[in-house]
Structure 1
């Protein structure tokens, strides 16, 4: 019972600190250290065992958890995420990202039915999210390319904003930090997780969410217009509409650059040819070098191309401060929760419920992710904090890890799209001059449908 109380207090304290906008990584680290310190004080046994991990001092053992997490994360997962971010920033710098979105969004201009266009735009955005894993970056680009189209055919500004906010909800693809972490938990490659785990579930979920957007946004626009909540001006592009986007235009051929890593990883995998073992970081670095060489040949300005490549390394440093540090500190927090014994008690209780234990465990984990993502506005913070519990939870009820982890990972991103304080919500709503709360009032019903469908589809396909 003491362990469960410690777990609850730890989760509540972390939630309070993050909601109050304290620095999330340090909040997770501090609460994890407090839990570990408490257990080191009352436990007769040392927290760490083994010559490589233990320090033989209770005080240093507590701090050693951070060292152990850093060594584990930075060598594999952290390096992958940093290189992906560097590649993404470099593509932004040379204009390749914008070129891809311009080409992909072009066919939408031929669709004249307002809510059919909105549903198709959502599906297209979710597809592009595979190649542009940044929710805010994708949202800004879609506000530039797609938002004016949606308004011009007759969608309201709030309906268009809701659609664009949810385009990154499923957090798909081997370039997603949450996807990479899930693949690591399942001991498979990110590409295998994407193809075998995410794609079957995502196809059904995207169709369900697109259909919900079609009917719900159409119904709400009609109702709000009749009630006076919306006026004719809400169906027009306001005069001060401006998207501040530093991405420059680039040759159309550059649109292939964001797609190259996915193609490379797919070709050199069990799905096509496994004779060569190409890791994620290797694929990203190969594509970075190729993009650099093409840029050099096209611009014929070697100095300028070398200046541009600095954004690659700047992007690596930026994501270390924002994401990799979060993963490390979340690992320390998870270690603290585990050390109390409360997690083991909860998992054993669920495992003892024959027939229903797995479902209850999955619903509990999804509930935690939804609450944490909603109150923090970050799917990463929520998933990183609690994902390490998934393998033990799945094993305790005899489930395959993918059946447990895939819906939980997807739900973390879905819940972020329902949060009024999420970065993508605030950014997109501000550009359109729409209240974030009005925007999420339109995202919540489609995301509830997405949550239910993704969980059900995981049982069917995984």
Structure 2
């Protein structure tokens, strides 16, 4: 009876998230309802308190978001974007896969999918439209690539997988590095093929009032390098190329990057400090808030026995465990427009039991995180998709449909590379 009730609550939760009710509110309330039905009213509160004490996870997330806000304030992110765009202007229809790969690379530093969509889309989408590329393809090309953040060691999903698997963040990134590259190459090529088949790779005529106007923005190569400094420091340290850097935590690298932002731009230190902590606050309220509420939801599912039932089913049929760890978060990402909520719930509830399915927590956790992001990248209700579609002047659904083939193939590739190796 309780398991049936849990299934109903899960369906209602998904429905409310599809209707774009506030994610944290939906997850928290669903967890409370489940716990009350199971006669364990304190379980959600204990989960809430436990999540608030996740110091290691908290440190990584807030520092990354703080650094991103500093890059936005100093406009170093704009210099990087425009520097990369400069080489794309004369590649014709190949601008489609090139834009996908450039956005993916930029997203490793500008980790917010909506933020990256806004920053990159404002520049690359008009460029694609002016090159004759259809608006729906232009919007799709940007948003399809906004999961490159999973290659950033400080990204919330990476930090969560590392915590569950009890390994370092760099270990997680190294483990899924190849799978990520293969998936984005599949996404880029698939979108280009779709554009060619639909004859949307050229021939679009941009209305006169929307044509690109050259501005006086002068690219500074030094400023363009600054957003990449923290990631570079972490890679040099983790690989042992520069042994002293091995002691750097993710938060340390982000603070060093923010300091370089000050040195290169001479922006007011007071403004930099305010923006850094503004970003840190946003990270706690939005990203960490989802993680906390997802854990409350998971505790509710545990209380009514849903998690144990799913675990037992997976133990009995390992093939289901592998497939569900990819396509469960993938489908929820499409339906909810958020890859984080689906992946966090899965990684909190199921991934700790990975060894019982003959898998490692790191492989299973990365699969869920990447699959959730891939699903979100073809969701017509995702915030970033709506932003990109607004820039392009097309329907979010039209752009999402063009991303669908590539994201499905990419999800399959991630599943094979991480769980069938």
TM-score (norm 1): 0.83
Partners of 2:179 and 2:414 within 8 A in 1: yes
2:389 corresponds, among 418, 421, 429, to 429
State yes or no: 1:309 paired with 2:291.
no
Report the CA distance shift for 1:431/1:192 in structure 2 as closer, same or farther (over 3 A): same
| Residue in structure 1 matched with residue 224 of structure 2 by the alignment | 255
What is the deviation of 1:13? 2.5
Whether 1:285 aligns to 2:255 is yes
Of 258, 263, 284, the match for 1:320 = 284
Query: Pairwise mapping of residues 161-200 of structure 1 onto structure 2 (< 5 A)?
Result: 161-169=139-147, 171-173=149-151, 174-195=153-174, 197-200=175-178
Gaps of 5+ in 1: 42-58, 226-231
Preserved CA contact (<8 Å) 2:18 2:335: yes
Distance, in Å, in 2 between the alignment partners of 1:309 and 1:277 is: 24
CA distance in 1, matches of 2:126, 2:43: 56
Measured in 2, the distance between the counterparts of 1:11 and 1:139 equals 30
Compute the displacement of 1:423 (Å): 0.6
Choose 29-38 or 430-439, whichever is displaced more.
29-38
Q: Is the 8 A contact 1:208 1:449 kept in 2?
A: yes
Structure 1 residues 423 and 36: alpha-carbon distance in aligned structure 2, compared to 1, 3 A threshold = same
CA-atom RMSD, angstroms? 2.4
> 2-side partners of 1:65 and 1:271: how far apart?
38
The 1:369/1:249 distance shift into structure 2, 3 A limit, reads farther
Q: Deviations over 1:338-368 (max 9, x none)?
A: 2222211221222123xxx1x2112123232
Aligned equivalents of 1:188 and 1:118: distance in 2? 37
Paired with 2:249 and 2:200, the residues of 1 have a C-alpha distance of 50
Shift in alpha-carbon separation, 1:282–1:441, aligned structure 2, 3 A: same
- Alignment size in residue pairs: 415
Deviation at 1:119, TM superposition (A): 1.3
Deviation by residue 1:188-207 (Cα, 9 ceiling, x = unmatched): 22222112x22111222222
The one of 438, 445, 452 aligned to 2:405: 445
Q: Which moved more, 1:21-30 or 1:172-181?
A: 172-181
Instruction: Provide Cα deviations, 1:71-107, integer angstroms capped at 9, x if missing partner.
Output: 23xx121232111111101110110001011111221
Q: 1:221 to 1:371 in 2, by over 3 A?
A: same
Secondary structure at the residue paired with 1:10? helix
How far has the Cα of 1:60 moved from its partner? 4.8
> 2:194 aligns to what?
216
Q: Which structure has the larger Rg over C-alpha atoms?
A: 1
Cα deviation code 1:284-319 (max 9, x no counterpart):
1222223223333xx6xxxx3422431111111122
Q: How does 1:370-449 map to 2 (within 5 A)?
A: 370-449=330-409
Of residues 85, 95, 118, the one that matches 1:105 is 85
Aligned to 1:51: none
TM-score by length of 2: 0.91
Tell me, what secondary structure is at the counterpart of 2:145? Answer: helix
Alignment equivalent of 2:303, drawn from 326, 339, 358:
339
1:130–1:175: 8 Å Cα contact kept in structure 2?
no
Describe the SS at the equivalent of 1:221: coil
CA distance in 1, matches of 2:240, 2:30: 43
5+ residue gaps, structure 2: none
Matched, 1:119 2:101: no
CA contact (8 A) 1:95 1:250 kept: no
The answer to whether residue 31 in structure 2 is matched with residue 67 in structure 1 is: no
- After TM superposition, list the pairs within 5 Å mapping 1:361-376 onto structure 2: 361-376=321-336
> The residue matched to 2:133 in structure 1 has which SS?
coil
Residues 234 and 253, structure 2, Cα contact 8 Å, conserved in 1:
yes
Residue number in structure 1 paired with 2:33: 34
Q: How far 1:270 moved relative to its partner?
A: 4.7
Q: Secondary structure at the match of 1:108?
A: coil
Q: Give the C-alpha shift of residue 274 in structure 1.
A: 5.1
What does residue 264 of structure 2 align with? 294
